[in-house]
Structure 1
Amino acid sequence: MTQYRSCYMLRKTKLIVVYFRLCVSVLESLLAQEGICIAAKEKLTKDSGQGNAAAYDQIVERLRAKSRARGVIVFGSDQEVAHLMDAIARGNATGMFSWIGSDGWSARSLVSDGHEAQVEGTISVQPMAHPIPDFESYFLNLTAQGNKRNPWFIEYWEATFRCRWPNGTVTPYNQGYSQTCTGREKLADTATSGGFELERQLQFVSDAVLAFAYAVRDMHQELCQGNPGLCRKMKPIEGSQLLSYLKRVRFNGLTKDEFRFTENTLDGPSRYNILHFKQTKPGVFDWLKVGEYRDGRLKLNRSELQFRLEFSGDINNKNNSTNSMPMSSSTLYSSSAEENWTNNGGFNPPVSVCSLECERGSAKKFLEGEKCCWQCMPCQKYEVLRSETECVECVEGTLPDLDHQVCLEIPAQHVNPTSSWATGAMAFASAGVVLTLCVIYVFIRYRDTPVVRASGRELSAVLLTGILLCYGVTFILVQKPTNLLCGLQRVGVGLSFTIVYAAILTKSNRIARIFRAGKRTSRRPSFISPKSQLIICAILVSIQVVITAVWLLFSPPKAVKHYPTREQSQLLCQSTLG
């Protein structure tokens, strides 16, 4: 679970898993839920000596074949991972991979010592444990003669002091020792010389023993009701019955940490330190704590992550590495601190993806059978990205934005009163209006003169009104179309010209009939009076009015958008489109 959370936090999307245990199937399921794929799974050989250098070299070659997968999760023991790092060095693959390690090899000197360049940047997990008070002092005061209850202590004594116990059994482990153990050797001397280091996870041994002790105690109290010794109900102890008591134990161990089994998995407390192997200063490597996983929550100090720190000179890795594990407080070195150093680290882990994210405006076309590999297909000119895998065409009247994310409405073009041609038309119409008003003024002032009376004052007035309307319609035609203005245009254009033509037609008809009648008789023809002429003109105009009214009724005026091309939008009156 902790490795899965680390992958998710580091945003790796394609990984390689090197393992020898069945837990990889659980990890694979969890990674799939977050869209993280496993490019390859390589099984490590057991640490029983069956694996040879050639086998590890083949694993490295197969890892390198996955050119884009650079994140590698390794489940294994320190012996196996040490062999793997040897193969990485032999295969010139140093720096190609970003390692995520299990607790089986986390912070183990067998892995990191001598492989600093290969292991650098590793993030691993280690069960969170604390030293058991007074245990180190107790252990260092043990002697071979006083600890005969432990059948393996003599073997440990021989390995520690590189001597052979008198009259002891010759084994493959002590046959190379020529010196005889005296029994007066002191373990405390190995601590002062730096050759002694306690296992960091002794807490779990004591917790395991105490868990059984508390379970047996609770079982005894319930079944034997506090009577000393084993009662009949506990002879023999049933394993399944003892398990039920184990599930319920809850206590504070020797380190004062609370212990209890989880309800679902029956595991111990989920508490892990997140460790990171990096250079704390030029040439000095260390395992540092950069976070923790406790009770289902991961805390990671991303600012302390440093995946690679390159140095132009030689690094004596082995002599400069340390084995301490304090909480990290070091800073990253850069050229400002030392001229030969460049920091390529920080929170920028190596890219481990099958396919890079598509640019904006491109859809993913997944390769068959792959969830993390795709090709990027740019959306076409008039398409936008509807989902990460699909482009759709914008509807008419809209165009994609620059990133092909949304369809934007095309700004509609329309007649602009401030344009040069509209200004010219309105200027010409204004001059016409002024001249027409001047003529009307003259007609009104000299309305009783013979010239004006002979021209037909009434029809002339109608004619001048029609001309004035013709000029006035110009100002409506150059405005931005609306439903109201479209209606006024439809009425005004037809009505103004109808009035003009009706007046001219009536006047021409009157004159023609008068001259025709004069050739035959001296009697005046009918319907030539001013009133009759106005009625005839009104009848002609009314025909236009009726036609326009019916048109407006069945086809109401509308300002609509017209798209002459895919990239143009015009705001027009519907009547102009036919």
Structure 2
Amino acid sequence: MPQSGSFEVIFGNLTTLGELCGLISYGSRDPVFNDRVQFPSFYRTVPDELSEIDGIVELIKHFGWKWVGLIVSDDEIGLRAGKHFEREMKKDGICLAFNIRIELGSIASTDPMKTREILNRSTANVVVLLVSLRFVGYILFFFAMFDMPEKIWIVSSTFLRVLDTAYPQNRIIFNGILALSIQQGEIPGFREFLHGLNLSECPDGILFPDVSERLSDCKLPNAIKTTPSGTNISLPQCTESEFFQEYDLPINETLNFRISYGVYTAVYTMALALHKLNMKQTRASHPDRRERQHINFKQWQLNALIQSKDFEMTSGYKIHLNVKKDPSKYYEIVKCFFSEEGGVQTVKVGSFDISRPDGNQLSVNSSADLWGPYFTKCPPSRCNEPCTPGHRKSKNERKPPCCYNCVPCAEGEISNTTDTQSCIKCSENEKSNKEQNGCIPKNINFLSYEDTLGATLSFISFLCTVTCTVILGIFIKYRETPIVRANNRYLSCLLLISLMLCFLCTLLFIGRPTQICCLLRQVTFGIVFTISVSSVLAKTLTVIIAFNATKPGSKLKKYVGTQLAIILVIVCSLVEIVISAVWLASNPPFPEADTLSDPDYIILLCNEGSGFFFFCIIGYIGTLALLSFIAAFLAKDFPDRFNEAKNITFSMLGFCSVWGAFVPAYLSSKGSRMVAVEIFAILSSSAGLLGCIFVPKCYIIFLRPELNIRDTIVRKQ
């Protein structure tokens, strides 16, 4: 192929050498020759150039680089390699930081200052250089013009000519490059041949002057050079002992060749194929004779033999020319160092073999010096700083996918790795910590006796219970006095006992919710409050009946007494008991852990089971309280010194106000505050009844005993 500069091994018909039967190339790497329809007889001993790009992409993936620069030559080979490289990178989420095309021989079209500015400004620490062979010399000159920033350079095999560069600046810029190189191998017997050459026997050989300079750092006496020296340094004369004996060429490697080994492989492959074909036809046509004058080969015979046989070279290396694939897609990854003295060292640091299964194609020696001389460890190559744990990546619409913003995780979500795409939601029983990089158990929330609020409410409940007990004891002791006997002393004692139970039932709301507490607390509260409010209603109706019964001809005289009041209390309480029984039978309350209402707490509460029945109880108690308020309001002006109607009016007014405000406050609260609202409503409404109805009586008993006599019960008109 003209552009590759390769030597093609071509064998035709052995009789005429006119018909093209097979072609094996050691240097043509154009992927167009992979088309077996157009090129059925084309083979090569080196892989195509696109497989080399795949190796570079795998190397970039291996080190986790996401932001990579690209420089290509502005010709068919460079542009094709650049497009394939960009396409393969996109599959793995790798982005191009920049894409520079360098044109041959036109400094103006590709401004070196602009290129230097791009390299300096870019945050990409890795630059891939893909150029064709004819561009290498120009690009070396191009980069030798200015100082360039320190980068990790990854180059294709064609750019290994940098090892022989004459520009000192190149030896600084490209010091430590990583390069993919085609497979090398030892040519059997070449060492002995090279060291056995005798200069005296080949005095006029045109090859020796150039080779001697490279191998021995000396020149032959009286030799005519065909190639000008790369330097102007005058070399000493060689002696026979110096020539090819003590020196090796470090760049081209006299024992392990790359391009030359490809030529050797191509020649021997075709030679062995022809030899086998010759032997086969000889045995088939003339089994008794070993000689023939004319041997004719057909193209298909040679193709079939090459494609189906393993040719083992004298070195033990097997090469297989497949109809669909190249014989080898193996690359060595080498690291190249330039010493200050001008020497060059190449170190194999890995390999890339496409014939292996996916995931095992790339092998990198991690113990080798991969990052010297300018880096001590693997340098990052990113568009921006990585997102730390506790943050996630957010797409930036104006930039490539590798450029992104970092936003904190939402409440209740975490990220414990860098550059995470999305945050992880904590479980229902966990919350995110302050840094949002880990989940921690949520705090358990319920109204506890250890809490200040719980302890305060329980103390108030206990104090009100003691107060209620003391007042009950006072009423029992002074049960025969007019102030106690008025308005039915039995209802007063029943009301005091029910209020005492109202204060005590609040203790069921405090503490860790259990199944028993959840079943009992709302039902107990509903029943005892119904008894209390129905007792107040009965006391009010007793006052109304008593005063109306004194009118002449009144039919209410037969209802005067305690029997009606007790029946009223029992009937009202039975209605409440029936509602509670239906509630418990159909949809009873149960303990529940609420993990959704508050992101920081697990709220332990009692699920009421049915909100309908709960508000039925509240509504029923409120209805009784409203009836008591209306009745007491109508009887507040009756002419009796010990008339309780005014006190009951104020108590029911306070009662209705408390429970009217309870509903919106309860619905807008959550957690322990919801329970505290209900406890406060129970305590305040019960304390209102106790204070408005019984405190005035105790005042008369102890501080105004002169009023607690029968003569003062009825006012004088």
In the superposition, the TM-score normalised over structure 1's length comes to 0.69
The match for 2:363 is 299
Structure 2 residue corresponding to 1:478, chosen from 491, 505, 510: 510
User: Residue 105 and residue 532 in structure 1: after superposition, are their counterparts in 2 closer, same or farther (change >3 A)?
Assistant: closer
Other structure's SS at 2:461 match: helix
CA contact (8 A) 2:100 2:115 kept: no
The match for 1:462 is 494
Q: Quote how far apart the aligned CAs of 1:225 are.
A: 3.5
1:384-432, CA deviations, whole angstroms, 9 ceiling, x for partnerless residues? 69996789999x9998765668999986754333233432332233244
Decide which moves more: 379-388 or 421-430: 379-388
Structure 2 residue corresponding to 1:109, chosen from 163, 185, 190: 163
The match for 1:318 is none
Is it true that 1:30 corresponds to 2:88 in the alignment? yes
1:195 & 1:463 partners in 2: Cα distance?
A: 116
1:75 & 1:435 partners in 2: Cα distance?
A: 95
1:234-277, CA deviations, whole angstroms, 9 ceiling, x for partnerless residues? 52542x54233222231332322332235642233x33332213
Amino acid at match of 1:235: N
Is it true that 1:159 corresponds to 2:210 in the alignment? yes
1:103-123, CA deviations, whole angstroms, 9 ceiling, x for partnerless residues? 234486304984432222211
Q: Quote how far apart the aligned CAs of 1:212 are.
A: 1.0
1:368 & 1:53 partners in 2: Cα distance?
A: 31
Other structure's SS at 1:219 match: helix
Map 1:480-495; keep pairs closer than 5 Å. Answer: 485=517, 488-495=520-527
Structure 2 residue corresponding to 1:207, chosen from 265, 268, 279: 265
The match for 1:347 is 377
Structure 1 residue corresponding to 2:314, chosen from 250, 254, 258: 254
1:177-212, CA deviations, whole angstroms, 9 ceiling, x for partnerless residues? 9xxxxxx98776322463756262343333222211
CA contact (8 A) 1:103 1:124 kept: yes
User: Residue 41 and residue 462 in structure 1: after superposition, are their counterparts in 2 closer, same or farther (change >3 A)?
Assistant: closer
Amino acid at match of 1:200: F
The match for 1:121 is 176
The match for 1:316 is none
CA contact (8 A) 1:143 1:186 kept: no
CA contact (8 A) 1:3 1:125 kept: yes
Amino acid at match of 1:132: I
Q: Quote how far apart the aligned CAs of 1:220 are.
A: 2.8
Q: Quote how far apart the aligned CAs of 1:376 are.
A: 0.8
Q: Quote how far apart the aligned CAs of 1:287 are.
A: 2.0
Map 1:113-512; keep pairs closer than 5 Å. Answer: 114=168, 115-142=170-197, 154-160=205-211, 189-192=242-245, 194=247, 198=254, 200-201=257-258, 202-225=260-283, 227=286, 228=290, 235-238=296-299, 240-261=300-321, 264-268=324-328, 270-278=329-337, 286-294=345-353, 295-296=355-356, 297-309=361-373, 345-349=375-379, 351-359=380-388, 360-367=390-397, 370-372=400-402, 374-376=403-405, 378=407, 402=434, 414-434=446-466, 436=468, 458-479=490-511, 485=517, 488-507=520-539, 509-510=541-542
User: Residue 231 and residue 543 in structure 1: after superposition, are their counterparts in 2 closer, same or farther (change >3 A)?
Assistant: farther
Amino acid at match of 2:154: I
CA contact (8 A) 1:363 1:378 kept: yes
User: Residue 244 and residue 160 in structure 1: after superposition, are their counterparts in 2 closer, same or farther (change >3 A)?
Assistant: same
Q: Quote how far apart the aligned CAs of 1:34 are.
A: 1.7
Larger Rg: 2
Amino acid at match of 1:301: N
User: Residue 539 and residue 478 in structure 1: after superposition, are their counterparts in 2 closer, same or farther (change >3 A)?
Assistant: same
User: Residue 524 and residue 165 in structure 1: after superposition, are their counterparts in 2 closer, same or farther (change >3 A)?
Assistant: closer
User: Residue 130 and residue 55 in structure 1: after superposition, are their counterparts in 2 closer, same or farther (change >3 A)?
Assistant: same
CA contact (8 A) 1:141 1:187 kept: no
Decide which moves more: 355-364 or 515-524: 515-524
User: Residue 563 and residue 252 in structure 1: after superposition, are their counterparts in 2 closer, same or farther (change >3 A)?
Assistant: closer
1:365 & 1:523 partners in 2: Cα distance?
A: 87
Structure 2 residue corresponding to 1:13, chosen from 45, 66, 90: 66
Q: Quote how far apart the aligned CAs of 1:475 are.
A: 1.0
Say what the alpha-carbon RMSD is for the aligned residues: 5.4
Is it true that 1:538 corresponds to 2:581 in the alignment? no
CA contact (8 A) 1:361 1:384 kept: no
Q: Quote how far apart the aligned CAs of 1:435 are.
A: 5.4
1:558 & 1:533 partners in 2: Cα distance?
A: 36
1:231 & 1:556 partners in 2: Cα distance?
A: 110
Q: Quote how far apart the aligned CAs of 1:283 are.
A: 9.9
The match for 2:680 is none
Identify unmatched segments of 5+ residues in structure 2: 1-53, 213-218, 616-662, 668-717
Query: What is the identity percentage for the equivalent residue pairs of Structure 1 and Structure 2?
Result: 17
CA contact (8 A) 1:13 1:352 kept: yes
Q: Quote how far apart the aligned CAs of 1:300 are.
A: 1.0
CA contact (8 A) 1:363 1:391 kept: no
Q: Quote how far apart the aligned CAs of 1:472 are.
A: 1.6
Other structure's SS at 1:273 match: strand
CA contact (8 A) 1:42 1:59 kept: no
Other structure's SS at 2:393 match: strand
1:347 & 1:284 partners in 2: Cα distance?
A: 24
Q: Quote how far apart the aligned CAs of 1:136 are.
A: 1.7
CA contact (8 A) 2:180 2:332 kept: yes
Other structure's SS at 1:189 match: coil
Identify unmatched segments of 5+ residues in structure 1: 178-183, 310-343
In the superposition, the TM-score normalised over structure 2's length comes to 0.58
1:425-459, CA deviations, whole angstroms, 9 ceiling, x for partnerless residues? 32233244445556767888999x89999676753
CA contact (8 A) 1:75 1:102 kept: yes
Q: Quote how far apart the aligned CAs of 1:7 are.
A: 1.6
1:504 & 1:468 partners in 2: Cα distance?
A: 15
The match for 1:92 is 147
1:518-540, CA deviations, whole angstroms, 9 ceiling, x for partnerless residues? 67599994244555542232123
CA contact (8 A) 2:391 2:420 kept: no
Other structure's SS at 1:291 match: strand
Other structure's SS at 1:526 match: helix
Q: Quote how far apart the aligned CAs of 1:285 are.
A: 6.2
User: Residue 408 and residue 282 in structure 1: after superposition, are their counterparts in 2 closer, same or farther (change >3 A)?
Assistant: farther
CA contact (8 A) 1:130 1:200 kept: yes
